[in-house]
A and B are shown apart, each in its own frame.
Chain A
């Protein structure tokens, strides 16, 4: 099992290196700075943990997780920025969702720390990471919902970013939750799930970000607030009349 994780770890380092190299060669580094900052940070942290002796590496594992988790939020901002480019309201909704979910989690941590004398953030690291991963998952789902609802076209690069990050976040939510509830019996499975999911995510990113592809050209959004109000008003009016008819039809 140790050999598997070691192999995945080394494979991950290799892929991260290739992704960073391709970002420079393919000139996509400047286009997605937050995403490549995240990859670079994971690359540096993984390299450091691999080199450093085992007891110190254990101590550094959780701080590294928090740093990469924080930078992972940057990936979501990056995705939202590109997907909702010029669509001010949708971008704002995605960011607000993220801020509210993260705010709620930090508020609950503060409340727990205040009310429960034995509760300590340093001894509940997995707990906190799971909650923060849930916040990331909610933010990602908001973006997916909004793009699906409005039929917004997403390019290959961003699609890969969403898919890879989503796989990793989803696997993390599962493994961290089961780790907390099953306990130490789940340790080995936890390691395998986490490292495999991350390797899959890296593979997706490698393929999707091999070369820079601009987002599909769509008619640029209009800033005409009046036009939108009119559209929404007409739709609302139409729905109202249908509703009125149906309400009369359905026996209550």
Chain B
């Protein structure tokens, strides 16, 4: 019976892989103008729209919660908590997005090298997978317990988002240099992409 299940699973996995293979969109050329623009927009919205410390502190200020709990009626309290929770979830989503972006950059650039290290690539793939899972876990935690239930969580999420943002910024700096200098457009000269 185990043999039957394993064989059928392999068959299903192969057919599913083929399905995704057929649906796979054509990969854009690494460093293309569109890719650069999209990455730039993502970073700008993170850095200037959501990441400034003051703004983060304001959004998640515990004083606001205390004020609302002591002065506002029950329905306003409920609305307040619901909105703050959405913001926290949005934050974790941003971190997740940044990790995905980092992963995309790494894979996109790694494929330009003839010789990769299978051990390093495997380790990186596992790290990306575990981080993405961790983000999902954070989302669940915030969803179930709310943004004020875990002290320090929001600050850490903000710091993490900022850190990933800096990493992506470095990638984009490199891409900008590459764009401006088409004569020096070889992978060996832009290894420090991430």
Residues of A within 8 A of B (CB): 86-90, 93, 130, 134, 137-138, 140-141, 144-145, 147-153, 159, 162-163, 166-167, 169-170, 173-174, 176-177, 181, 218-219, 221-232, 234-236, 238-243, 245-251
Contact = CB atoms under 8 A, between A and B. Distances in A.
B163 A151 contact: no
Given A166-B18, A222-B187, A231 B8 contact: no
Given A169-B14, A235-B102, A228 B160 contact: no
Interface size bucket, B side? Answer: 35 or more
Contacts of A176: 7
Contacts of A87: 111, 114, 116
A251 B150 contact: yes
25 contacts: A89-B116, A137-B10, A140-B17, A144-B17, A144-B18, A150-B108, A163-B21, A166-B21, A167-B15, A173-B7, A173-B8, A173-B11, A173-B14, A221-B112, A223-B114, A227-B190, A228-B116, A229-B191, A230-B191, A231-B113, A231-B193, A232-B116, A236-B124, A238-B164, A249-B152
A231 B106 contact: yes
B194 to A, nearest CB: 5
Contacts of A222: 112-114, 186-188
A150 B106 CA distance: 9
B18 A170 contact: yes
Given A87-B114, A141-B14, A181-B4, A242 B187 contact: no
Interface string B162-179: 011001001000000000
Interface of B is mostly: helix
B188 A249 contact: no
A132 to B, nearest CB: 12
B43 interface: no
Contact of B27 (A153, A163, A223, A231): A153
B86 interface: no
Given A86-B114, A239-B127, A245-B160, A149 B193 contact: no
A227 B138 contact: no
A148 B24 contact: yes
B120 A177 contact: no
